[in-house]
Each structure stands twice: as structure tokens, then as C-alpha cells.
Amino acid sequence: MSKQKEELEHRLKLRNIKLSDYDDIREIMVSIYKNQGGAWTKEELKNQLKAFPEGQIAIEDNGKVVAAAMSLVVDYNKFGDNHTYDQITGYGKFDTHDMEGDTLYGTDVFVHTDYRGMRLGRRLYDVRKEICENLNLRSIIAGGRIPGYTNYADEMTPRKYIDLVKNKEIFDPVLSFQLANEFHVRKVITKYLPSDTDSRAYATLLEWINIYYEKDEKLIGNKKSIVRLGLVQWKMRRFSNVDDLMQQVEFFVDTVSGYKSDFCLLPEFFNAPLLAEFNDMDASEAIRNLADYTDEIVSRMSDLAVSYNVNIVAGSMPEYDGKKLRNVSYLCRRDGTQDKQYKLHITPDEASYWGLQGGNGINVFDTDAGRIGILICYDVEFPELGRILAEQEMDILFVPFWTDTKNAFLRVNTCAKSRAIENECYVAITGSVGNLPKVENMDIQYSQAAIYSPSDFSFPHDAVVAMASENEETIIVADVDLDLLTKQRKAGSVRNLEQRRLDLYSIQWKQKK
């Protein structure tokens, strides 16, 4: 390789700044800040490195520093939003640095003029974000210059100028870059850098929020990030009594628990085989008799949840109070507590054969492995319900279903995929397979259990976390990452929840819960 070619090649390296870099840093600062006070002294750089060496970052090319970013940690409450650059940096000494603070304060980012257009500033901003996350700090805050304002100062206020930059009507070499790197403007501050004549001494107070920030880290009991889901694709078979049914349930709960799952999901009407006991009755009378077993099954299911240390979403079962027949899914938590979700929308056949009626409430349930919602079968085909749950910060939507034909299954399946994408959550679905001859309205089954995710780079390329073989009795066990949902909602390619036009429309729940 020729010497000339070697000299033309870039060898970029990201590292912490050293005191020996001072001459390179001074060269850049004098060039860029000739109208704002020039460069720091070597003594100031020495103090900054002594205070917080991990926060001072450089990019070198073939041994020469060509870009740098400086920062410190502060207790932001001590300064508030009306501080000046000198106040928060201790006049460049960084003696305001406080490792017990909650905020990473960005003091400077600069790039050599010969290296403009190489997006080195973006690399430095990404490193700052990494530092903020690794130190579990609440946010990054910086005072941003608006040098382009000097061309518009006689015709508009700083606030108007900033709004036009946000809307890309005006380009500002500093603010446009910061907005593109996920910072938002908290307010306009005056006299931040009095020497900054281009900005007319105005500055933007910018903030980047660390979505992974945990205010109170505990040794135990923190919110889980990785959650393991176990789905039971249940085969309909005749059981002579509840003991036989629960023996089969326990087998699957034991199996799912053996893989250390956090949840076990059963299908809608998994207890339907007990209807065979009432074959001599009218369908509506038979299912009301089936409802007599629900309390016992729920009690025993709750015992299984505790003894096998797994949260059970107990499919659904009929509930009859002497006046209304409803379809209900029970959440049996592994701490022994219970909740339930009624099916809200009743299919024409369910109303005609059985006289089922819909419930009137919907909730998100807190568990030790995230916030969950439950929509029983037909309910998932109504997008308003998923959105209402998403607005309550649901992480995982469970959909126990029962479908007889493939086209019925495809309705549930397709809508479940849509709920995952539009609500930026995971959706787990499972149903029953096999058949129950001579059981009215429960004779055949079609199912393919699955777990779906949002569709973006952080998730599987087809938005399918796991999927079972169709119409086979089986289980699927898979992990879902709740932190990825947080990332998706704040930094995804598209952000369905964040970018809703709430100025135009909204979904309102009319019924009092």
C-alpha cells in the first residue's frame, strides 16, 4: 500500500479524552468558537478530566483528535431551568460535577471543520446516551446555541424561530442537528452565553429523556424485562368429571412451569368437554349447568398458580348468577390473588344457542411480570378495546379463543397481529384442537397458537415471536422483552401511540367501571 493512500485512509477511534489531546482540542475550539471566547485553557481541561474522565469523549483519526464531547453529572434541582453556562459548569472547572446527581449535562460538542459531513456529532451524541443509560440517569440536558437566529432576529422572536426550525422551514446548524437526535426543547433561556452574538445570547434548553431510567433500584422485586410466556394449545377430549379435567390442566401447568414460564395461557372454554355430562339437556340449559363447576375450577387453578409459581390466564369459563350467563377469563396470579375479565362482545351463535350476554368493563391487570390485558376471542376483533388497554400502558395482551373453522381462526389471528402493531405490545393467542362429538355448538375446533410482536427492527422480521403447529396438541414457550416495547414507543421507526392525532380524535369509555 502506498504511503499516499495510507495518509488518505481514515482510522477513526472513539475513546476518552487525555490531557495530551489538549493541542488538538484547542485547535478545533479556536476555529469554531473564535467569536465566543475561544478555547479552554489546559488547566481547565485538566480539571474537567479530573472531575469526570468517563464523560469526556474524543474521536481520533490516525492519532489526531478531530471531534469531542464534554459532559458532567449534576443534581439538576440545584440549578433549575434558568441557569447560565458558567453557573452549571463552575466556570469551566466542572466542580459542579456530582455523581449522586440525576442528570447528564452536555457542555460541548465540536467537530473539526475538515470533518463536517461525516456524522461524527451523531456518534458523540449516541455515546452520551449510552453513558446516561449506563449510569441510570434521568435525562441529558444541554443548553443549545441557535446561531442561525442572527439572520432572523429583526423579524421574529426566538420562540417563532425555534418553531420554524422544528417544522423544517428554517435550518439551524445546531438546533436542527439536536432535534434530529431525539432532543426536545424545554424552553428558551436568555443570557446563557452572553458572548454568543450569533444567538443574540439566547439558547434552547434541550432534553433527551432516558426511557430506561429506574428511580429506585432494588436488589429484588424490580420490574422484569424478559418475560417468558407459555401457551397451551389444548386438545378437546372427554372428561368424566372435574378431577379428570384438572389432572390434564395440571399436566400442562407443570410442563409450562418446568420451563420457568411467567405465564400459562389456556384457551376459551377449555372446560367444554364437561358439557358431555349434560347431553340430554337443551344447549342453553347445559351450559348453565357447566357454570356450576366454574368456582371449583378457579379455586383449584389458583392453587396450581401458587404451587407451580406461574401466573395462569385460565382461558375462559361460563359464569351464571341466576340472571345473566356470561363468559369470563380468570387471572390466577402466583401470589394467590385473582382478577377476571368478561367477554364484552358475544357472537350471534353464542347468543342464539346459549343466551350469553356481554360484560361491561375492561381493565389492565398488574402482575409481577408486566401489565397485561385479556380479550376473549371475538373481542380482539374490535380495535377500540386494544387501544383502550394500550392507553393504560399494557405490555402483553392475552387472547384465549375458540374457533371452529379456519376462516373463524383467521379473523382472530389477523386481528391479533394488528393489535400488536398498532398498540406496540405483545399479543399471545391460543385455542383448542380436536373435536367433541354430540356436544352442541362445540363439535369441531381449529387453532394455531402464536405470540406476536410489533413490526420493527428490534423484533422478529415477520413480527412472529413463536407459533405452534396448527391443529396439534402442544405448547409453545418463548421470551418477550418488555424493554423493547419501551424503546419502540419512544424511538421506533413509527410510533403509533405517540403520534396519534389526539387533536382530531380519541376513544372514550362511556360505561362507569
Name the active-site residue from 268, 319, 350, 424: 268
Helix (H, G, I), strand (E, B) or coil at 467: strand
Q: How far apart are CA 414 and CA 146, in angstroms?
A: 48
DSSP string spanning 121-133?
Answer: HHHHHHHHHHHHH
Name the active-site residue from 132, 264, 332, 377: 377
DSSP string spanning 253-300?
Answer: HHHHHHTT-SEEE--BTTTGGGGGGGTTS-HHHHHHHHGGGHHHHHHH
- One-letter identity of residue 203: A
Q: Which residues contact 146 (CB under 8 A, 6 or more apart)?
A: 158, 161, 162, 165, 172, 174, 175, 199, 202, 203, 204
CA of 513: how far to CAs of 277, 310, 361, 366, 510, in Å?
Answer: 36, 28, 6, 17, 9
With beta carbons less than 8 A apart as the criterion, state whether 336 and 324 touch: no
Q: Which of 323, 334, 264, 269 is nearest to 297 (CA)?
A: 269
Buried b (16+ CB within 10 A) or exposed e, 6-17: eeeeeeeeeeeb
13 catalytic? Reply is no
Q: How far apart are CA 130 and CA 146, in angstroms?
A: 25
For 383, the grid coordinates are 380495535
**Parallel, antiparallel or unpaired: strands 338-342 and 365-367:** unpaired
Work out the end-to-end distance of the chain between its first and last CA atoms, rounded to an integer number of angstroms.
75
How many alpha carbons fall within 13 Å on the CB side of residue 112? 15
Q: How far apart are CA 388 and CA 450, in angstroms?
A: 22
50 catalytic? Reply is no
Neighbours of 474 (CB within 10 A): 16
With beta carbons less than 8 A apart as the criterion, state whether 127 and 54 touch: no
Sign, Cα dihedral of 488, 492, 498, 499: negative
DSSP string spanning 240-253?
Answer: SSHHHHHHHHHHHH
Q: Which of 480, 477, 476 is nearest to 460 (CA)?
A: 480
132 catalytic? Reply is no
Phi, psi of 406 (to 5 degrees): -65, -40
Report which DSSP code applies to 502.
T
Name the active-site residue from 60, 207, 343, 415: 343
Strands, E assignment, 45-154: 57-61, 64-74, 103-111, 139-144
Q: What are the catalytic residues?
A: 268, 343, 377
